[in-house]
Structure 1
Amino acid sequence: MEELDFFNEYAAALTDSSIQVNRNISTHNIYFKMKRLFDILFSVIGLIITLPVILIFSILIKLETTGPAFFFQERVGLNGRYFKVIKLRSMRIDAEKNGAQWAAKNDPRVTKVGSFIRKTRIDELPQLWNVLIGDMSLVGPRPERPMFTAKFNEEIPGFIKRLTVKPGLTGWAQINGGYEITPKKKLELDLYYINNVNFYLDLKIILKTIITCITGEGAR
């Protein structure tokens, strides 16, 4: 299946009244400006605080397996723009030798160190850089790979409505369903967030994410 040409098809799709997002994003200018300032402040502080953790686990990854400690992967962001997400590598370097695969529970491709950093979300910490440079926000729908976004949008028309806000380091779908929810349920949860964006909801998601990091709930 060919990947969607998001720069064209995305814009056309949102003109389809059957998949309109029921929200008034245009009236939230102050919210989004303040959110961007918060993203910058939080990501700078977060990178300074977590840098030792990132360095320690990058060394552990290198000691356990060959290959780079960091993993760069193309994702789809706001308005269909592609960007490279940064993560600590949690799988073997040949994890996709047979093509792109959706991560599964107890995935055998995950390394020992990888299992721990996925459970605690430490593998996501480098994405604070993505937040700082504006590819992502602290809170928003998790960004998907182009091929999976195209696939899910074919199976679930309107899936690309998730692209009407910046993708996030964490999101409403993550704290309410983790990694095991279906793409359809993920869309429902993400649309709830998009239609109800506010600082209180963002704070609630951040606090719940901290609890998830401590307990490891929802990891795979």
Structure 2
Amino acid sequence: MIWKAWHDLPNDMRCESVRPYYEILASKRSDLLIKFIFDRLMAIILLFALSPIFLVLAVWIKVDSDGPVFFRQERVTQYGKTFKIYKFRTMVQNAEQIGAQVTSKGDMRVTTVGKALRKCRLDELPQLINILEGTMSFVGTRPEVPKYVASYTDEMKATLLLPAGVTSIASIQYKDEDTLLDAADDVDKCYVQNVLPAKMEWNLRSIVEFSFFRELKVMVETVLAVIR
């Protein structure tokens, strides 16, 4: 995991609102190193072990609807860098051109197979590739599209000190986020003004309480949440 000196941070992150979070993480370098090693090793093991499931899901997606197996979208990760996130495609082709960049519960763009994958969070499995690439981690703030990152307050930018994550406490708390957005007249506006700030409170708290063992606990809680 790349850890930059304070003076090497992007200009917009080098502010007093971010500094306390930076100093907290800087004092936990050993936990950050363990997190880096764990991410890579576990990603390799899971990619190998789950390869048969990847194949089955890929065939299922192709049979269900036209379009590619994988969905790739530009997101933002550590230090504000953009990357392409991998997901199994759960929507119709060109979904981004015909709707918001977040989904509501009754979103008609979601395919039949997509509904099943989303319910069990199986659409997130390809992010093991992102973890292996180093653009994501198992636990961390969920990566947003640049459009939403542009609305971050200075304090929210502290979440960009670490790689984006597949799961987090905020993700567990807002696992039914699509239901919250379902009744909104303007989904994007509702997400930026209501949902995003609430999720960021959890994400910032996670930085303050960061430790490798706490992240293991979040991973276990995520599995339990999906089962429930």
Name the TM-score class by shorter chain: 0.7 to 0.9
TM-score, reference length from structure 1:
0.86
Give the length in aligned residue pairs. 203
Deviates more, 1:65-74 or 1:192-201: 192-201
Structure 2: 5+ residue runs without aligned partners?
1-8, 181-194
Q: Residue 30 of structure 2 aligns with which residue?
A: 30
Query: Residue 73 of structure 2 aligns to a residue in which SS?
Result: strand
Q: Is the 8 A contact 1:165 1:194 kept in 2?
A: no
- Tell me the CA shift for residue 199 of structure 1: 2.1
Does residue 98 (structure 1) correspond to residue 98 (structure 2)? The answer is yes
Does residue 198 (structure 1) correspond to residue 211 (structure 2)? The answer is yes
State which of 156, 169, 174 in structure 1 corresponds to 2:171. 174
Q: Residue 119 of structure 1 aligns with which residue?
A: 119
Distance in 1, matches of 2:126 and 2:101, equals 22
Structure 1: 5+ residue runs without aligned partners?
1-9, 216-220
Q: Residue 132 of structure 2 aligns with which residue?
A: 132
Q: Is the 8 A contact 1:73 1:86 kept in 2?
A: yes
- Tell me the CA shift for residue 17 of structure 1: 2.1
Q: Residue 5 of structure 1 aligns with which residue?
A: none
Distance in 2, matches of 1:27 and 1:161, equals 15
Distance in 2, matches of 1:65 and 1:47, equals 25
Q: Is the 8 A contact 1:87 1:127 kept in 2?
A: yes
- Tell me the CA shift for residue 42 of structure 1: 0.9
Q: Residue 53 of structure 1 aligns with which residue?
A: 53
TM-score, reference length from structure 2:
0.83
Q: Residue 162 of structure 1 aligns with which residue?
A: 159
- Tell me the CA shift for residue 101 of structure 1: 2.8
- Tell me the CA shift for residue 14 of structure 1: 2.8
C-alpha root-mean-square deviation of aligned residues, in Å?
1.8
Identity of aligned residues (%): 36
- Aligned AA for 1:167? A
- Aligned AA for 2:84? K
Q: Is the 8 A contact 2:75 2:84 kept in 1?
A: yes
- Tell me the CA shift for residue 183 of structure 1: 0.3
Distance in 1, matches of 2:51 and 2:107, equals 27
- Tell me the CA shift for residue 179 of structure 1: 4.8
Query: Residue 113 of structure 1 aligns to a residue in which SS?
Result: helix
Judged with a 3 Å threshold, the aligned counterparts in structure 2 of structure 1 residues 20 and 107 are, in CA distance, closer, same or farther, namely farther
Q: Is the 8 A contact 2:77 2:136 kept in 1?
A: yes
Does residue 74 (structure 1) correspond to residue 46 (structure 2)? The answer is no
Query: Residue 92 of structure 1 aligns to a residue in which SS?
Result: coil
**1:178-189 matched pairs, under 5 angstroms:** 178-180=175-177, 182-189=195-202
Q: Is the 8 A contact 2:137 2:164 kept in 1?
A: yes
Distance in 1, matches of 2:70 and 2:18, equals 37
